[in-house]
């Protein structure tokens, strides 16, 4: 017993030492919630569906309609966790995304891991990915132990140079909207390269689903990317959809491949009924959220106008809900975030290792529920101290 206690103390000491190291360089992460009454400039609730009560109300109605269903899935989908309800929802999703098929995952993160893990079993495939791709994709490559080749961010010439040299089947992995910078992938140009070099594309649409397309079907739908070039689209439902879950829109044969070779799918419990019905309710709301999408675009334009009026300040603006600004030091970055929060405006500084050193920033997300006055107040507050690069 004494030896066991010593081992436990030693393990805890190792934990504490690692945490102290991270705290010493200002990179310690802590959990936080948005305080009541603060203006939200940090969440991914772009269409305000999660926070305005409509989704909760719609989900409750659906739950009442399916009150005879078991709450939990009871097992993985290959054992006992599949159901006619899941099949019906996935058919709805394939119709929504105009894809041949669709498959549900617990999260968008798990969907990316699932795709890469399955494809990683095929030696004839070579992955190419944008250097700004989401951590879930990088983790997928790491866990699958497959060598993936990165290309410079949105650098089509670099990507083409790499594609010219490949001896395998190329698969290009990009985000339609990049989660930290907020800029968009050059989907049309990438699709042209894919056609020229017989490549397939996987697009993570976590930050474009619900926002782009006539009914929120995403950036690929809006850009009319040919389906034969799209191996898969990945949609995370924790952003504009305001709930939880991941969706892969794909062909039927690729869905079958995922079911047979994706370990995150095979060994995960199926979606619970509350999760499934909440997600379904969110899609119905998103499909009709035309006013919310228009309001969001108006707020984005307002932010650009306000930011561009500050001549001495350099902002990094996009036509997406994600904006950001950088500071001369992490000390000034922390001070700017604290000043905003003292004024009841909730913004979150982003530090390494989430982004590279020297690229720390104040990430600002805009929502349909934000007002022009709130946006102008935020820009004025951050510009007042002239702390930005």
Tens of pLDDT along 75-88? 999 999 999 999 99
- Give the total number of structural domains in the chain: 2
Q: To the nearest whole number, what is the mean pLDDT of the chain?
A: 94
Residue 82 located in a structural domain: yes
Distance between CA atoms of residues 80 and 89, nearest Å: 17
CATH number of residue 312's parent domain? 3.90.1150.10
pLDDT value at residue 328: 82
Distance between CA atoms of residues 147 and 364, nearest Å: 34
pLDDT value at residue 327: 84
Mean pLDDT, residues 248-264 taken together: 98
Shared domain check, 271 and 165: yes
Shared domain check, 315 and 280: no
Residue 174 located in a structural domain: yes
pLDDT value at residue 311: 66
pLDDT for residue 359 is more than 60: yes
Shared domain check, 170 and 307: no
Residue 344 located in a structural domain: yes
Shared domain check, 329 and 183: no
Nearest in space to 131 (alpha carbons), one of 148, 152, 149:
152
Shared domain check, 207 and 321: no
For helices 372-384 and 290-308, the axis angle rounded to 10 degrees is: 30
**pLDDT confidence band for 313 (50 / 70 / 90):** low
Residue 348 located in a structural domain: yes
Shared domain check, 109 and 151: yes
Shared domain check, 314 and 187: no
Shared domain check, 369 and 272: no
CATH number of residue 220's parent domain? 3.40.640.10
**pLDDT confidence band for 68 (50 / 70 / 90):** confident
Shared domain check, 324 and 277: no
Nearest in space to 188 (alpha carbons), one of 222, 163, 138, 142:
222
Q: Which residues pair with 24 in a beta bridge?
A: none
For 215-251, the pLDDT digits (tens) are 999 999 999 999 999 999 999 999 999 999 999 999 9
Q: What is the pTM of this model?
A: 0.94
**pLDDT confidence band for 331 (50 / 70 / 90):** confident
Q: Domain end: 241, 256, 287, which one?
A: 287
pLDDT value at residue 389: 45
Q: Domain end: 287, 309, 331, which one?
A: 287
Shared domain check, 313 and 256: no
For 154-178, the pLDDT digits (tens) are 999 999 999 999 999 999 999 999 9
The range of the structural domain enclosing residue 307 comes to 35-51+290-384
Residue 223 located in a structural domain: yes
Shared domain check, 211 and 103: yes
Residue 56 located in a structural domain: no
Shared domain check, 150 and 234: yes
**Percent helix, strand and coil across the chain, each to the nearest 5:** 45, 15, 40
């Amino acid at each position: 017993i004494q030896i066991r206690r010593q081992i436990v103390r030693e393990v805890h000491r190792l934990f504490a030492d690692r945490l102290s190291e991270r705290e010493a360089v200002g990179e310690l992460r802590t959990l936080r919630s948005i305080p009541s009454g603060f203006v939200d400039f940090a969440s991914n609730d772009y269409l305000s569906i999660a926070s305005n009560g409509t989704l909760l109300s719609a989900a409750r109605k659906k739950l009442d309609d399916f009150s005879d269903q078991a709450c939990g899935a009871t097992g993985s989908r290959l054992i006992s966790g599949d159901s006619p309800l899941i099949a019906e929802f996935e058919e709805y999703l394939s119709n929504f995304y105009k894809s041949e098929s669709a498959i549900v995952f617990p999260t968008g993160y798990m969907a990316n891991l699932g795709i890469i893990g399955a494809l990683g079993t095929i030696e004839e495939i070579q992955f190419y990915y944008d250097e700004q791709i989401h951590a879930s994709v990088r983790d997928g490559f790491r866990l699958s132990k497959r060598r993936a080749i990165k290309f410079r961010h949105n650098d089509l010439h670099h990507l083409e140079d790499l594609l010219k040299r490949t001896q395998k089947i190329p698969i290009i992995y990009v985000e339609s909207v990049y989660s930290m910078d907020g800029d968009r992938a050059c989907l049309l140009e990438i699709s042209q390269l894919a056609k020229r070099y017989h490549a397939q594309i996987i697009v993570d649409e976590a930050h474009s689903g619900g926002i782009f397309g006539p009914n929120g079907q995403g950036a690929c739908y809006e850009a009319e990317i040919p389906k034969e070039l799209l191996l898969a689209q990945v949609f995370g439902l924790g952003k504009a959809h305001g709930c939880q879950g991941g969706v892969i829109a794909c062909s039927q044969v690729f869905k079958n491949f995922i079911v047979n070779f994706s370990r995150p799918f095979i060994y995960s419990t199926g979606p619970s009924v509350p999760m499934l019905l909440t997600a379904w309710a969110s899609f119905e709301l998103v499909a009709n959220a035309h006013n919310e999408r228009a309001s969001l675009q108006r707020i984005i334009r307002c932010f650009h106008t306000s930011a561009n009026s500050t001549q001495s300040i350099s902002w990094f603006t996009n036509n997406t809900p994600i904006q950001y600004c950088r500071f001369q030091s992490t000390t000034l970055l922390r001070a700017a975030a604290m000043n905003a929060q003292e004024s009841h405006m909730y913004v979150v500084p982003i530090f390494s290792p989430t982004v590279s050193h020297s690229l720390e920033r104040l990430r600002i997300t805009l929502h349909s529920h934000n007002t022009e006055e709130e946006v102008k107040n935020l820009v004025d507050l951050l510009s007042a101290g002239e702390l930005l690069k």
